[in-house]
Amino acid sequence: MNKLPFKETLFESCELGFKNILPILGVMVLYILTIWIPYINIGTTIALEALPLKLVKGEEINPLYIFESKYRKLMGDYLILFVIEFFCLIAALCILIIPMYVLAMAWSLATLLFIDKGIAPLDALRKSNELTYGYKWRMFWISMVLGLIFGLIIAIIAGLFIAVYENYFLYGICYAIALILFIPVAVAMEAIFYRELTKEEEPKAEEAPKAEEAPKAEEVKMEEVKTEE
């Protein structure tokens, strides 16, 4: 069963991202404004990582949720997960870029699993690798195509501004707008990856038990004769 149909995932990512663009950007702005506060910033970072879960569950996104204490309670295990993932990715990068990217895709659901299911750091990495098995290339191409679409939009609009007005400042504005539009779509895409890859397969309908064959007429007659005797 294909859990990540290419076209449908692209369109749903855009639809879900644009639908929630204001609250997602509100979370981002509030996070950036408070990232300098020690201790609190670790909790808000964990809460920011949990943003795709809000979309998956259809919850209302209030930017102030990033200050909830439940995220700070996850601080210890989150830092363990972060350190393991970071240094393993660095080690993979020392080999080649491709192994690092494959490992990053394999572990891309680990933090969401840790926050959502309360799975221990190592188990979250292992489970993420298991869930993404067979889907890494599809995830890569969906991410790549979305990035190329927004990159193309930037190139076309900025090219027109530069050609007509010869103003590179407008190029920067176009880039910033495209980035602002891309962030909610990227968050929505991550939410869809998580939703689809953690979705349990529907159990196959059990075959109805075959009705017992009615005894043949000859056998019935033989039994009647025996009882008479």
Amino acid at 83: V
φ/ψ region of 118 (left if φ > 0, alpha if ψ in -120 to 50, else beta) reads left
Question: According to the model, what pLDDT value does residue 223 have?
Answer: 54
74: which DSSP letter?
T
Cα angle 92, 136, 31 (rounded to 5 degrees) comes to: 75
User: Cβ distance 82 to 74 under 8 Å?
Assistant: no
- Print burial letters for 103-127: b (CB count within 10 Å at least 16), e (below 16): bbbbbbbbbbbbbbeebebeebbbb
The structure tokens listed for 114 are: 């840790």
Phi/psi at 30 (nearest 5 deg)? -65, -35
Higher-pLDDT residue of 33, 199: 33
**212 pLDDT tier (thresholds 50, 70, 90):** very low
How far is Cα 84 from Cα 178, in angstroms, rounded to an integer? 33
The answer on pLDDT for 198 being more than 90 is yes
**1 pLDDT tier (thresholds 50, 70, 90):** low
Q: What is the pTM of this model?
A: 0.81
**Mean pLDDT, the chain, integer:** 84
**205 pLDDT tier (thresholds 50, 70, 90):** very low
Express each pLDDT in 118-173 by its tens digit: 999 999 999 999 999 999 999 999 999 998 888 787 777 777 766 666 666 777 77
Closest to 134 (Cα-Cα) out of 167, 99, 102: 102
User: Cβ distance 164 to 98 under 8 Å?
Assistant: no
Q: What share of the chain has pLDDT > 90, as a percent?
A: 61
Express each pLDDT in 71-106 by its tens digit: 999 999 999 999 999 999 998 888 778 888 889 999
